[in-house]
Amino acid sequence: MKLGAVISLGCGKTLSSSLLFQKGAFFRFTPIFKKEVALDESNNATLINMIWETKVYMRKQINYVDILRKLILYGDYP
C-alpha cells in the first residue's frame, strides 16, 4: 500500500486521484479553527488556542492516526 500526504488543496486533488488509482493510502489532517489565524501571528493566546484546537482535532482523528502510524512503522496496514 502506498502512502500519501497532502499539504495544499491544489495538488491534493491530483495526488489523491493518482493514489486512488494505485490503491494507495491518502491522509489529510486539516483542523478548522474557530477564527482565522494569520501566517505571521505572534499573539501567544491565539497561538496557544490554535495548538489546543489542533490537539482536540487530532484526538478525534485517532483511528486514522493509528492507521498512519502502522503504515509508517510496518510499511503496510494489516
Place of cell 483542523: 31
Check: pTM over 0.85? Answer yes or no.
Answer: no
Residues 14-64 have pLDDT tens digits of 555 565 556 666 777 888 888 899 999 999 999 999 999 999 999 998 988
Q: 29 with 58: CB under 8 angstroms?
A: yes
Q: Could you tell me the CA-to-CA distances from 66 to 35, 39, 78 in Å, in that order?
A: 28, 29, 12
pLDDT of residue 3: 46
> What is residue 2's predicted lDDT score, i.e. its pLDDT?
44
